[in-house]
């Protein structure tokens, strides 16, 4: 769960920078699933970056999984990041590391035993249908395959908060449906999920409460 109060964000500093978010306030409870909608440039990715602690809000209050972000120390933020999964719009895979190693990365950072890591990686990669591409490098995969690797890495450690930026844009309809069913199951298990998308068809097919942005302003918070 997370809370934003009067949050603004500007790329390149609040004085001179490009305003991406203005005075956004939100309150999303544990285990909720939310669509994040808005036209291109509305600030969806910026909002998700704040939620995944990739950037700090320029002003306002951000509280994630009960931790007030501005007051937290660096080590505390690192701990918090280990409870957040993020699927980036550009996938964020390391090009010189195998698919296996990319997906195993969060578990390795938690110093899990290698045998356990191998077991979990195989299970999740089987689920996304890529268990035969474990030794490939990300640039050798198609866009949809890379997207599935990014999704696998974001959910492998069962995060308490999952933010996904256009996670279905490179997937076919069948895969997108599988993904939506997994998201709903994760939400049932208590993961708070925010999914940004342009895909009106999928939103219509899987109705859920919606957050809508326009020019960095919150225009709909239907919770």
Partner 1 sequence: MARQRYHDGLALRQALPGRFLPFLVGSMAFLAALALAGGIAAHGLSQRWTHGAGAVTTVQVPSPTDPATATAAMGQTPATRIDAVLATIAATPGITGTHRLSDAELRALLAPWIEQTGDASLPLPAVIELHTAPGQDVAASLLPRLQAQAPGVLMEHDSVWSDRLAALAGSLQACAGLAVLVVMTVAVCVVMAATRAGLLTRRQAIGLIHALGATDSYISGRFATRVGLLALWGGAWGSVLALPMLLALSHLAAPFTAMGDIPATTPDWRDVHAWAALLPPALLWMLVIVPPAAGLTGWATTQLTVRAWLRRLP
Ligand X SMILES: Nc1ncnc2c1ncn2[C@@H]1O[C@H](COP(=O)(O)OP(=O)(O)OP(=O)(O)O)[C@@H](O)[C@H]1O
Interface residues toward Mg ion, by CB under 5 A:
44-45, 89
3-state DSSP assignment of residue 178: helix
Task: Estimate the crossing angle of helix 143-155 against helix 99-109, to 10 degrees.
Answer: 20
Proportion of the chain in helix, strand, coil states, percent, rounded to 5 = 35, 25, 35
112 scored as a contact of partner 1 (CB under 8 A): no
Any idea what the Cα angle at residue 188 is, between residues 21 and 35, rounded to 5°?
Answer: 25
20 scored as a contact of ligand X (CB under 6 A): yes
Q: Which residues on adjacent β-strands are paired with residue 211?
A: 36, 221
What is the rounded CA–CA span in Å between residue 100 and residue 105? 9
70 scored as a contact of ligand X (CB under 6 A): no
106 scored as a contact of partner 1 (CB under 8 A): yes
78 scored as a contact of partner 1 (CB under 8 A): yes
Query: Which element (helix H / strand E) includes 6?
Result: strand 2-11
40 binds, among partner 1, ligand X, Mg ion, none (CB under 5 to 8 A by kind): ligand X
5 scored as a contact of partner 1 (CB under 8 A): no
Site map (CB under 6 A) of ligand X, residues 28-47, x = contact: ----------x-xxxxxxx-
Of positions 4, 24, 53, 155, contacts partner 1 by CB under 8 A: 53
What is the rounded CA–CA span in Å between residue 163 and residue 174? 21
Of positions 14, 25, 29, 56, contacts partner 1 by CB under 8 A: 56
Please give the residue ranges that form the binding site for partner 1 (CB under 8 A).
Answer: 52-56, 74-75, 77-84, 86, 92, 94, 96-98, 100-101, 105-106, 108-109
């Amino acid at each position: 769960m997370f809370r934003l109060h009067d949050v603004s964000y500007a790329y390149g500093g609040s004085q001179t920078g490009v305003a991406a978010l203005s005075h956004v306030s939100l309150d999303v409870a544990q285990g909720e699933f939310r669509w994040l909608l808005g036209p291109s440039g509305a600030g969806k990715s910026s909002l998700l970056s704040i939620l995944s602690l990739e950037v700090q809000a320029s002003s306002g209050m951000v509280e994630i999984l009960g931790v007030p972000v501005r007051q937290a120390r660096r080590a505390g933020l690192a701990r918090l990041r280990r409870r957040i999964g993020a699927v980036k719009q550009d996938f964020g895979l390391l090009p010189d590391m195998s698919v296996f190693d990319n997906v195993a990365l969060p578990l390795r950072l938690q110093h899990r035993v290698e045998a356990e890591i191998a077991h979990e990686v195989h299970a999740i990669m089987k689920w996304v249908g890529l268990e035969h591409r474990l030794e490939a490098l990300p640039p050798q995969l198609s866009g949809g395959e890379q997207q599935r690797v990014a999704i696998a890495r974001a959910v492998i450690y069962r995060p308490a908060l999952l933010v996904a930026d256009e996670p279905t844009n490179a997937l076919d309809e069948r895969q997108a449906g599988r993904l939506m069913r997994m998201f709903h199951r994760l939400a049932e298990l208590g993961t708070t999920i925010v999914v940004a998308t342009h895909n009106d068809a999928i939103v219509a097919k899987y109705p859920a409460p919606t957050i809508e942005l326009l020019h960095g302003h919150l225009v709909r918070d239907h919770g």
